[in-house]
Structure 1
Amino acid sequence: MQIKLFELNSLLLNLGLERIEKVYDGYSSFKEICKNTIAYKFDEAEIFVTIENDYIKDLFMTGFRFHENEAIKNKLEEVLYNIGTEFHLILNDWNLAEIIDLTDRKEIKKNLNEELKK
């Protein structure tokens, strides 16, 4: 399945995420702009998207776990669930070596609440 950038963009903006046009990579004092990459942000959670010919090539997420505020966790659950149901995606949590079905709210909640095995 190919996901068009405008479809993901529309979904994430409608869910209240902020779009960030300039994404930088680097370390210490060295920084460079990431070409063909945009990001979306809500609180400390970020979604990074690389684009090729107006289609999503890669999609990475960070900062979706370790939140104590229930309102933030509920919002992040909604974001993940909508991505899952709209685009039929799973989440591969590299830190936990777990796969989360993004169409299953129970799995999403377990991931956000740190209830998956470690």
Structure 2
Amino acid sequence: MNEVKADGYLPSFWEDDYCQIEIASFENKEYILKTIRQISDLANNSRTDFGFTETFGRGQMPIKTYSKEIRTYYLDKLLTEFEFEKAKSINYDSHKILNCETGSIKAYGFSNFTIFFDTQDEFVKNIWLSISLIVSVRQYDLIQSALYCLGEECEMVLIDWNSLELFDLRDRTQIDKYLNDYWK
């Protein structure tokens, strides 16, 4: 069993959060917008007083993040340069501890913002976020700069499937629009 220091950075990840706030290749933009419209239509047509009568399975993106050949060490270096703490472990579904050093899922961030990614060989397979209230200007600036760098260098977008919004990470204004919902 992994030992986790009580004062260490231990991000939490629920199975249902996997790729709910996703960073994906810009080339998927049209597919993402089409999927957002389909989800909105389905939600509007299946809404009841108690929830929804239908669900929507998103499936895989046409251009997988893995095909971008983003190396794990590149993302590690990028995030640590922006002072994101590297997690040694992840609290998975509140009852299992995943080892980031030997497992395929990695996590970097702060107590209120984490970038997760899973790997296959030396490449990044998927990237997703967990975010809550951002309370310092410094942290906001580091998060914004890291996301912008991912957008510029890797041509990535952020999709929040919870709110059905798409943000181009090559545009600081769009990043600000997204992060402002989490700003104190």
The CA distance in 1 between the partners of 2:180 and 2:135, in whole Å, is: 9
The residue aligned with 1:5 is 72
Moved beyond 4 Å, runs of 4+ = none
Partner SS for 2:93: strand
Q: Which protein has the bigger strand share? A: 1
1:88-107 Cα offsets, whole Å, 9 max, x none, are 11001122111100000000
Deviation at 1:68, TM superposition (A): 4.5
Correspondence for 1:70 = 137
Q: Give the AA of the match of 1:31.
A: K
Corresponding residue number in structure 2 for 1:52: 120
TM-score calculated relative to the size of structure 2:
0.56
Report what 2:58 is aligned to: none
C-alpha deviation, 1:36, in angstroms? 0.8
Residue 110 of structure 2 aligns to which amino acid in structure 1?
F
Q: Deviations over 1:34-83 (max 9, x none)?
A: 631110013410011101001001111111x5324333222211111111
Larger RCO (CA under 8 A, 6+ residues apart): 2
* Distance 1:68-1:22 versus aligned 2 partners, 3 A rule: closer
Unaligned stretches of 5+ residues in structure 2 = 1-67
Q: Which amino acid aligns with 2:127?
A: L
- Aligned 1:25-104 pairs, distance under 5 A: 25-27=92-94, 30-33=95-98, 35-63=103-131, 66-104=133-171
Alignment partner of 2:145: what SS?
A: helix
Q: Which has the larger radius of gyration?
A: 2
Instruction: Give RMSD over aligned pairs.
Output: 1.9
Report the Cα distance in structure 2 between the residues aligned to 1:82 and 1:42, rounded to whole angstroms.
Answer: 18
8 Å contact kept, 1:48–1:59:
yes
* Greater helix content: 2
